[in-house]
Amino acid sequence: MQHRIIVLGAGYTGAVAAGRLARRLHRDDVAITLVNDEPDFVERVRLHQLAVGQGLKPRPLGEMFAGTGVEPRLAKVTGVDVDRKAVAVVDANGDAEELEYDTLVYALGSGWNDQGVPGAAEHAHEIASRPGALRLRDRLADLGAGRPVVVVGGGLTGLEAATEIAEARPDPAVALVTRGGLGDWLSDKGRGHLRKVFGKLDITVHEHAAVTGVEADRVTTADGKDIPAAVTVWTTGFAVHPIARATALEVTDTGLIVVDGTMRSVSHPDVYAVGDAAMAVGPGGKPLRMSCASGIPAAWQAADAIAARLTGGKLPNTPIRYVNQCVSLGRGEGLIQYVTADDRAVNAALTGRLAALYKEVVCKGAAWGVANPTLGLPVRRRRVVREATRTDPAVETSA
């Protein structure tokens, strides 16, 4: 019988894991199913571009995985029973079904997080999903000249959203509200360039301002200040998909699946978690942050570990580390902040047009890797060892 591998979620990490597994394992021995609730792969790192009306290349999962041995299934995951090794799904017609697995790769990722702020869910727009970005695109298209747009959140997503909107629609007044200082985690060079670009785009910055309420026409800060907002864009972080918390898996207080260095669940050895769904430890004992920078290497690690355990091969021993943080600041400006292995800024930074091109290459490379899941990797398909004779190699890696 074939070993049944189910991958939940076809974002960057799920799609990469599925494709790498197909490259590592013999097709006669495994059945790989990739479950996703949208028919296309979504370039999440470009959703701020979609929100301002830029077109994104469609990438149908059926075409991407044609001939690879990976079977895409269009369905929404409604539950996971890790004791029975079964996934409950509802397909596009509304029909419920249960899929059984031998190995599960959980890559359902994350969505936007309103942080419990009153009015945020009702009045703010999110760009953590394609539907959210499309709703914001429609709202911005209908927005009259000079109407204020407020971006809440000063992280990477907030910086990219604010600059993209200001560059694409110079008629509205764009403001950014951030709990800390603008780019306060960056190097001096990085912060200086960021302020220069924000000044050129005439973006108003409200620093050290915590938003405590959102209404249809304003946001309110902790010090009682009202900031006019015809459109509020909410980018204050991500919340993990809630399904894992409802399972018997060991999870953190926020619902992240606790994994070892091979991305394997510490409580259920037939489950692996990658990307935003996983609580994995990186250099310096720090948790890996929600990002493609850590998610894609984690997907490689999980796929290689699964293949090694099934075939009796050697487990991967490649620590996941950071190199830089890539930020687009509109189409013509960018910032590449170089960092230590544990994600702390160093003095070196690349700025300007060259940085924008660098970020574009990174985005295209990530999309190419997903859209060509079995290319660019040496063929190392190995036969699966029968369950009765398989041994589990000792864990030789740390994240």
> Do 148 and 13 fall into the same domain?
no
- Tell me phi and psi for residue 8, to 5 degrees: -100, 115
Mean pLDDT of 263-282: 95
So what's the pLDDT on residue 178? Answer: 97
**Co-location of 179 and 220 in the same domain:** yes
* Residues 78 and 127 occupy one common structural domain: no
| CATH code of 150's domain | 3.50.50.60
Q: Residue 229: pLDDT above 60? A: yes
In a shared domain, residues 383 and 249: yes
For residue 68, being part of any structural domain is answered with yes
Average pLDDT of the residues in 97-122? 95
Q: Residue 394: pLDDT above 70?
A: no
Which pLDDT score, from 0 to 100, does residue 387 have? 57
| Residue 398 φ then ψ, to 5° | -135, 145
Least confident of 236-250, 285-299, 360-374: 360-374
Cα 270 off chain centre by? 23
162 in a domain, yes or no?
A: yes
pLDDT of 116 above 70:
yes
Distance CA 9, CA 249 (A): 18
Do 62 and 144 belong together in one domain? no
What are the pLDDT digits (tens) for 163-222? 999 999 878 799 999 999 999 999 999 999 999 999 999 999 999 999 999 999 999 999
* 200-210 pLDDT tens trace: 999 999 999 99
pTM (2 decimals)?
0.91
**Average confidence (pLDDT) over 20-43:** 94
Find, among 341, 337, 132, 140, the residue nearest to 235 by Cα. Answer: 132
Q: What is the pLDDT of residue 398?
A: 37
pLDDT at 295 over 60: yes
Looking at the domain assignment, is residue 336 inside a domain? no
pLDDT at residue 366, as a whole number:
86
Q: Which of 191, 208, 234 is the last residue of a domain?
A: 234
Question: How far apart are alpha carbons 252 and 248 in whole angstroms?
Answer: 12
Q: How confident is the model at residue 149 (pLDDT cuts 50, 70, 90)?
A: very high
Final residue before a domain boundary, out of 234, 254, 279: 234
Looking at residue 379, its pLDDT comes to: 52
Got the DSSP string for 332-361? S-EEEEEE-TTS-EEEEEEEHHHHHHHHHH
Q: Which residues of 353-369 are buried (b: 16+ CB within 10 A; e: fewer)?
A: eebbebbeebbeebbeb
Which residues, listed in sequence order, are joined to residue 218 by a DSSP beta bridge? 215, 228
Domain span holding position 64: 3-109+241-321+379-389
Give me the chain's average pLDDT, please: 91
pLDDT in tens, 346-392: 999 999 999 999 999 999 888 888 877 666 555 555 677 765 345 55
The domain total for the chain is 2
Residues 104 and 129 in one domain: no
Rounded average pLDDT over 6-28 = 94
Query: For the segment 314-334, what is each residue's pLDDT rounded down to a tens digit?
Result: 998 888 899 999 999 999 999
What pLDDT is attached to residue 45? 92
Residue 293 pLDDT: 86
Looking at 203, 234, 265, the residue that finishes a domain is: 234
**Least confident residue range of 46-50, 55-59, 117-121, 295-299:** 55-59
Burial class (CB in 10 A: 0-12, 13-18, 19+), 18: buried
**Is the CB of residue 161 less than 8 Å from the CB of residue 48?**
yes
Q: What is the pLDDT of residue 169?
A: 84
* Same domain, yes or no: 85 and 133: no
